[in-house]
Amino acid sequence: MEITWRDLMTVLHGMGFGALFMLAFTGAIAELYRMSVPGSPAIPNPRYQTLFRFYLIGMVVLAWLSVFSGAYVVYPWYRAAAPAGLADLAAYPRNLLLSSPTTSGWHRLGMEWKEHVAWIAPIAITMVAYVYATYGPSLAKHRHLHRAVFYFTLAAFVATGIAGAFGAVLNKYAPIRGGETIQLMKGN
C-alpha cells in the first residue's frame, strides 16, 4: 500500500484540515443557535464555556491550516505550467483541465472561485471565536451582535462548503499526484 507525497499532502489539506473544519460547524452552529433559543439555559457551567471556547479556537486553527496548506503546498502543484508540447498532462492538473472544453469549467469556475472564497471562512471564524471568547454566554444579551456572529458562522460554513465541494470534484477530474512514494504497508 503506497501513497505519493503529493497525494498525502492533498489528503491532509482536504480531509485532515478542511473536512474536519467543516464537520466542526455542526457543533458551533448548534451552540450559537441554542444560546438564543427562549427557555434554554442562558449561562452554561464554566467547564462547558471553556470547552466551547477551545472548540472555536480549534476551528480557527483548522481553518487557517486549511487555507495556508491549500495556497502554499497544494496549489503550486496544481498550477505548475506544463512544458510546451507535452502530450501527457496528468502531472499538470490545471493544464489538464484547460485542455478540454468539457473540463475547463472546473478550473475557470471551480478552482478560481474556491481559491479565493475559501479565505472568507478563517476571517469569519476568527471573529466568531474572538467574540465568544470575549463575551462568553453574555453574548446572548447582545442580541444584534449575537445574531451577526451567528450569520457570519453560517457564511463561513457556506464558503467552506464551496471550497470543499469544488476541491473534492477537482481532485477527481485532475488529481494532484507525484513526488516521493511512501510505502505504508507491504501487500501479500
Partner 1 sequence: MASTKQTASTELPNGPGAAALLAAGIGCATMGVFTLLAEASKGINTLFSFYAPTGALSGVSTSAIVVWLVAWFALHRAWAVREVAILRVSIAAFVLLLIGFALTFPPFIGLLQVT
For residue 107, the tally of other CB atoms under 10 A from its CB is: 21
Residue 144 found at the interface with partner 1 (CB under 8 A): yes
Tell me which residues in 82-111 interact with partner 1 (CB under 8 A). 108-109
170 and 93 Cβ atoms separated by less than 8 Å = yes
Residue 59 found at the interface with partner 1 (CB under 8 A): no
The amino acid present at 166, given as its one-letter code, is F
Residue 173 found at the interface with partner 1 (CB under 8 A): no
176 and 93 Cβ atoms separated by less than 8 Å = yes
Tell me which residues in 112-141 interact with partner 1 (CB under 8 A). 112-113, 115-117, 119-120, 123-124, 126-127, 130-131, 134-135, 138-139, 141
For residue 156, the tally of other CB atoms under 10 A from its CB is: 26
Residue 149 found at the interface with partner 1 (CB under 8 A): yes
Q: Provide the mask over 14-43, with x wherever binding to partner 1 is found by CB under 8 A and - wherever it is not.
A: ------------------------------
Query: DSSP 3-state assignment of 42?
Result: coil
| Rounded distance between C-alpha atoms, residue 129 and residue 147, angstroms | 14
| Rounded distance between C-alpha atoms, residue 22 and residue 3, angstroms | 25
Binding region for partner 1 (CB under 8 A): 67, 71-72, 75-76, 79-80, 108-109, 112-113, 115-117, 119-120, 123-124, 126-127, 130-131, 134-135, 138-139, 141-142, 144-145, 147-149, 151-152, 155, 159
